Amino acid sequence: MGSRGLPPEEGERPMKPVYRAALALEDGSVFLGSGFGYPCEVSGEVVFNTGMVGYPESLTDPSYSGQILVQTYPLIGNYGVPSRDIVDGFGLPLHFESDRIQVRGYVVHSLSRHPSHWSSKRPLSEWLYEERIPGLSGIDTRRLTKKLRVKGTMLGVLKVAEEIDLDELVGKVKEVEDPNEGDLVAGVTVEEPVFHGAERSPRVVVIDCGVKYGILRELLARGVGVVRVPYDYPLDGILDLDPSGIVISNGPGDPKRCVETIRTVEGLLETGLPVMGICLGNQLLALAAGADTYKLKFGHRGQNHPCLDLSSGRCYITSQNHGFAVDAESLRGTGFEVSFINANDRSVEGIRHGEKPVFASQFHPEGSPGPYDTTFLFDDFLREVRGCRG
């Protein structure tokens, strides 16, 4: 309606509806605030990220599939959303980690609706609206994060609408299915092999469980050809591609759900090929060797996680995004040993085989976003790859 309750005059823009937003958790608590993004209702696992920057990369990280992401840093959206036309030398979007937003919902304390940055193409809220992702702002994200740290990761329902029935929303949380019980990786992998730099040699096959563009970028920057294959691609098919090395990528959910991937990795361990695992790939490698994994209380997500290299004693600040970890005791008798540990909770952050050119990191050596302190792991892997080829 226009002014004084009259219909809007020709050329006058009608007022946009004011959206409310609410997040209900399985413990019965509710967080009320303002809505942004797309008005709808979603459910998922509620997790938090401690990063201060890098929200375009985080939102497009496939490892967040099935989750409602909470940012602990209070101000989000101040530099807007860059254009996908900004690409690196390999044609990959420079500021995104996949081809779409992967989170189910987004929760922030303070949303900047008027960004300022030379690369900004549109505001964060507009981007979320275009990709049909609901957002909640104006809540005490510190209180929410403390609740998740004390009680552990919880399931939740996030709704953005003009009117919200809170009792109904709280009731729906009891019916939410844990996304980790499903096959999340199937929704983020490629459908068929994808070649990057096909003419290059040697060739590295990436088992795509939801690989970030940053991982592909680090491999391509080192002069190798890369082939991404689906997470359930058979062992024979991988070997037919004549690889000189294998990377098992990051990805969402419970690693034990990737039964076919684990079986394939078991076979790869018998080939003598160099293998590097990252994040979910670290867990899959351990499971393939006969070790075990478990779910962390609230996971590690952010760009400031300290990890200790047990061989040198050095501490590195790392980028992380995972809710599961390898059981250190279960590695006994597998041929693997712990190579990195988390300086905060002593959980396993990396494993290495005692005799074979096989290792993995639970953290993300490619950063994107985050520090590049551990990109040397890609150099270590490529030395093994070129040695295998040559």
Structure tokens at 149: 């740290």
pLDDT (mean) for 311-320: 98
Q: Of 60, 383, 78, 59, nearest to 204 (Cα)?
A: 383
Q: pLDDT by residue (tens digit) across 58-79?
A: 999 999 999 999 999 999 999 9
Each residue's pLDDT tens digit, 199-221:
899 999 999 999 999 999 999 99
Give the separation between CA 20 and CA 54, rounded to whole angstroms: 26
Cβ contact 258:285 at 8 Å: no
Q: CA 375 → CA 28, 218, 364, 371, distances in Å?
A: 43, 8, 9, 9
How many angstroms separate the CA atoms of 262 and 290, rounded? 10
Where is 246: in which H helix or E strand? strand 245-248
Average pLDDT for residues 242-252, to the nearest whole number? 98
Q: Is 194 helix (H, G, I), strand (E, B) or coil?
A: strand
Residue 345, pLDDT > 60, answer yes
> Distance between CA 40 and CA 253 in Å, rounded?
24
Question: Taking 90 as the threshold, does the pLDDT of residue 303 lie above it?
Answer: yes
Amino acid at 203: R
Task: Say if residue 4's pLDDT is above 90.
Answer: no
- Partners of 110 in beta bridges: 75
Position 102, amino acid: Q
Q: Give 368's Cβ-side CA count (13 Å radius).
A: 24
Euclidean distance between CA atoms 349 and 271, whole angstroms: 25
Question: Tokens 């520090």 label which residue?
Answer: 371
DSSP 101-170: ---SEEE-SEE-SS---TTEEE-HHHHHHHTT-EEEESS-HHHHHHHHHHH--EEEEEEEESS--HHHHH
Q: What is the pLDDT of residue 1?
A: 37
Q: Could you tell me the pLDDT band of residue 388, with boundaries at 50, 70 and 90?
A: confident
Q: In the predicted model, is pLDDT for residue 158 greater than 60?
A: yes
Verdict on whether the full-model pTM lies above 0.85: yes
Torsion of CA 330, 334, 337, 341, to 10 degrees: -30
Structure tokens at 58: 């985080």
Identify the band that residue 125 occupies on the pLDDT scale cut at 50, 70 and 90.
very high
Place of tokens 């099935």: 66
User: What single-letter amino acid sits at 268?
Assistant: L
The pLDDT of 246-273, averaged and rounded, is 98
Of the candidates 27, 76, 29, 36, which has an alpha carbon nearest to the alpha carbon of residue 56? Answer: 76
Superfamily in which the 185-389 domain is placed by CATH: Class I glutamine amidotransferase (GATase) domain (3.40.50.880)
- For the chain, give the longest Cα–Cα distance: 80
- Give the residue extent of every domain in the chain: 15-181, 185-389
Q: What is the pLDDT of residues 91-113, one digit of tens each?
A: 999 999 999 999 999 999 999 99
Q: Classify strands 134-137 and 105-107 as parallel, antiparallel or unpaired.
A: parallel
* pLDDT reported for residue 379: 98
Q: Which residues does the annotation mark as catalytic?
A: 279, 364, 366
pLDDT of residue 281: 98
The length of the chain, given as a count of residues: 390
Q: What is the mean pLDDT of the chain?
A: 94
Distances, alpha carbon 55 to alpha carbons 49, 94, 154, 184, 328, in Å:
10, 13, 22, 21, 32
Averaged pLDDT, 5-20:
54
- The CATH number of the structural domain formed by 15-181 is 3.50.30.20
Which pLDDT score, from 0 to 100, does residue 198 have? 85
**Residue 53 half-sphere exposure, CB side, CA atoms within 13 Å?**
7
Q: In this structure, which amino acid lies at residue 101?
A: I
Average confidence (pLDDT) over 185-200: 95
pLDDT recorded at residue 16: 64
- Percent of the chain whose pLDDT exceeds 90: 94
Alpha carbon distance 223, 226 (integer Å): 10
Degrees to nearest 5, angle at CA 234 with 229 and 238? 55
Averaged pLDDT, 337-346: 98
